[in-house]
A and B are shown apart, each in its own frame.
Chain A
Amino acid sequence: EVQLVESGGGLVQPGRSMKLSCAASGFTFSNYGMAWVRQAPTKGLEWVATISYDGSSTYYRDSVKGRFTISRDNAKSTLYLQMNSLRSEDTATYYCTRVRGARPHYFDYWGQGVMVTVSS
């Protein structure tokens, strides 16, 4: 059974940093691209970043480019999101997702999500 378990969220002040982790199990982690998708309270879904299966390619939405870094450790089957210079508009539930497809494409499994609140 595919499982994605996020951790590392909480309350953080504007301008500070936070690192999210996602522990994956139930599949060969190194064969799949991975991504982070967020959802602000009572809002819709917003793609944040994607990383290829081997970590060689990364993609970011413009609003987080230069502030967030997606990375992975295939030996530990773990995905990360380092978030720097956090802003109030980054407040959201962050979902770790597995991405299916070579390019990669759509999100076929989602974690339960971790809440990040940016506030003073």
Chain B
Amino acid sequence: DIVMTQTPSSQAVSAGEKVTMSCKSSQSLLYNENKKNYLAWYQQKPGQSPKLLIYWASTRESGVPDRFIGSGSGTDFTLTISSVQAEDLAVYYCQQYYNFPRTFGGGTKLELK
């Protein structure tokens, strides 16, 4: 199974701050035939279902604000929020879809400083 490791597990932030969080996979998620990274990011706010933010490591889902930026390739990926808003306080999960079983990282929880 591909192990997804997210760091930090939690992060205290202030509104307007730039935030970065890391996701590392135990094997490469880059498929050589199409040069795509099989990685997605999700946001889960308290008491809500997860919501898709980013797929193919860097493609923003329709309707997702452009302050959310996905980057990285191979085994190292980053989700950046360029200027955190109060409504961004949530847990963020990365997920690989390179193979089965699909696996998620443990999550990064954004909290108010």
Residues on A lying within 8 angstroms of B by beta carbon are: 35, 37, 44-47, 50, 59, 61-62, 95, 100-101, 103, 105-113
Contact = CB atoms under 8 A, between A and B. Distances in A.
Size range of the interface on B?
A: 20 to 34
Interface of B: 38, 40, 42, 44, 49-52, 55, 61, 93, 95, 97, 100-107
Given A106-B55, A112-B49, 10 more contacts: A45-B42, A45-B95, A47-B104, A50-B100, A61-B101, A106-B95, A107-B42, A108-B55, A110-B50, A113-B49
A55 B42 CA distance: 26
B55 A105 contact: yes
A113 B51 CA distance: 13
B101 A62 contact: yes
A45 to B, nearest CB: 4
B93 A44 contact: yes
Contacts of B50: 37, 45, 95, 107, 110
A47 B98 CA distance: 14
B106 to A, nearest CB: 5
Contacts of B102: 35, 47, 50
